[in-house]
Amino acid sequence: MPSEPAPAVDGGVCVISGGVGAARFLNGLLGVVDARDVTAVVNVGDDCTVHGLEVSPDLDTITYTLAGAIDPGRGWGLVDETWRAIEQVRRYATSAGPGALGGSDASGWFSLGDRDLGTHLYRTSRRRSGAPLSQVTAEVTAAWGLELSILPVTDDPVRTVLTTADGRTLSFQEYFVREQHAVEIGSVRVDGAERARPAPGVLEAIGTAGALVVAPSNPVVSIDPVLAVPGVRDALLARRDRVVAVSPIVGGVALKGPADRLLRELGHEPSVVGVARWIAPLAATLVVDHADAALAEQVEAAGVRCLVTDTVMSRTGVGAALARTCLSAALGGPDPKATT
């Protein structure tokens, strides 16, 4: 709940989003501005087909988080979940022996709760009847009572594919869930990106937002796949002076997931400086944590203003304060140096 009346932001706020980090940032943002003024443009490179069902992990993580329904322990899926369907699948798979299920369907490592399955069943049904992902997402979001716009960056299929240092090809879920990201990556590509078109509203939201935020999500496997959809990078570039990025790297490590390792493996410096060099073409400001205050000058040397504040959103109130800082910077607030 907003602690004070939510200010209107002319043109609204547009957040380029991955999953968990973006969800937490958006949660803070909704404590600061009216939800109807917020648009999240969300990565779908992690989307996958599991047991024939269409699963959109980042869209669902954002939806469940903002609805207050995310499981706080796991950090994904729904709270108060049961696992009867997937337990039955495992019984069959165990009986049939190794190899019966492959890919994301090898349910030993990819789990789906019963209530969560309802989301995937609905999405799959609607998609098969011809509804684009963006429309289904709007329906799912509305059913949870959310008033912000959650937009998949594209309605077309794009898939993040990782190639390991030893030449194996992995889907994002194979890398992230099955391998627990404990494998060296040599390159990342986004299959289908070159043919994808931005979903309705995406370019408009980027083009007209009063403030734009690149959420503290994985640069390589969350934000880059959003930017890979033709038109999105250019649209953001045109609004660079209003774009504020929040570093997902704090003290040289990712708060969650493999962003630090991936940056290193792909030739970036796994620090706020590496993040700065990556995002400088697109963002006028990079927000880093106090833990990285000493690197502020190096960040600015990469060509981006550096703002130092609390960015670790595990404590109540940090997300909202971080959102205020971002909005202030995007809308032309006080000299960021003054806040360090």
Residue among 3, 4, 5, 128 that touches a copy of itself (CB under 8 A): 128
Query: Residue 163 CB, nearest distance to a copy of itself (Å)?
Result: 23
Taking CB under 8 A as the rule, does residue 178 contact a copy of itself? no
- What the block records as the tokens of 145 is 């009572």
Instruction: Give Cβ neighbours of residue 279 (< 8 Å, ≥ 6 apart).
Output: 214, 219, 245, 286, 304
Query: Residue 130 CB, nearest distance to a copy of itself (Å)?
Result: 10
Query: Residue 91 CB, nearest distance to a copy of itself (Å)?
Result: 6
The region of 44-52, 192-200, 239-247, 280-288 touching a copy of itself under the rule CB under 8 A is 44-52
Taking CB under 8 A as the rule, does residue 51 contact a copy of itself? yes
The region of 34-42, 47-55, 272-280, 317-325 touching a copy of itself under the rule CB under 8 A is 47-55
- What the block records as the tokens of 211 is 């403030």
Over the window 139 to 158, marking each residue x when it contacts a copy of itself by CB under 8 A and - when it does not, the resulting string is xx-xx---------------
Our CB check for a copy of itself shows the closer of 48 and 255 to be: 48
Over the window 1 to 40, marking each residue x when it contacts a copy of itself by CB under 8 A and - when it does not, the resulting string is ----------------------------------------
Residue among 8, 36, 68, 82 that touches a copy of itself (CB under 8 A): 82
Neighbours of 28 (CB within 10 A): 19
State how far the Cα of 251 lies from the Cα of 125, in Å rounded to an integer. Answer: 44
Taking CB under 8 A as the rule, does residue 52 contact a copy of itself? yes
User: Which phi and psi angles does 182 have, rounded to 5°?
Assistant: -100, 50
Our CB check for a copy of itself shows the closer of 63 and 271 to be: 63
Residue among 6, 35, 85, 253 that touches a copy of itself (CB under 8 A): 85
3-state SS assignment for residue 74: coil
State how far the Cα of 297 lies from the Cα of 319, in Å rounded to an integer. Answer: 25
Whether 22 and 42 have beta carbons less than 8 Å apart is answered as yes
Q: What phi-psi label fits residue 80: left (phi over 0), alpha (psi between -120 and 50 degrees) or beta?
A: left
- What the block records as the tokens of 83 is 């696992």
State how far the Cα of 48 lies from the Cα of 273, in Å rounded to an integer. Answer: 32
State how far the Cα of 321 lies from the Cα of 308, in Å rounded to an integer. Answer: 12
Interface size with a copy of itself, residues (CB under 8 A): 40
Our CB check for a copy of itself shows the closer of 49 and 298 to be: 49
The set of long-range contacts for 286-291, using a CB threshold of 8 Å and a minimum separation of 24, is: 286/244, 286/245, 286/246, 286/247, 287/244, 287/245, 287/246, 287/247, 287/311, 287/322, 287/325, 287/326, 287/329, 288/247, 288/250, 289/247, 289/250, 289/251, 291/250, 291/251
Taking CB under 8 A as the rule, does residue 125 contact a copy of itself? yes
Residue among 129, 167, 314, 332 that touches a copy of itself (CB under 8 A): 129
Our CB check for a copy of itself shows the closer of 173 and 285 to be: 173
Query: Residue 166 CB, nearest distance to a copy of itself (Å)?
Result: 25
State how far the Cα of 141 lies from the Cα of 28, in Å rounded to an integer. Answer: 18
Taking CB under 8 A as the rule, does residue 294 contact a copy of itself? no
Q: Find the helix or strand (DSSP H, E) in which 172 lies.
A: helix 172-173
The region of 3-11, 116-124, 280-288, 332-340 touching a copy of itself under the rule CB under 8 A is 116-124
Please report, as ranges, the residues that interact with a copy of itself according to CB under 8 A. Answer: 49, 51-54, 82, 84-89, 91-96, 100-103, 105, 114-119, 121-122, 124-126, 128-129, 139-140, 142-143
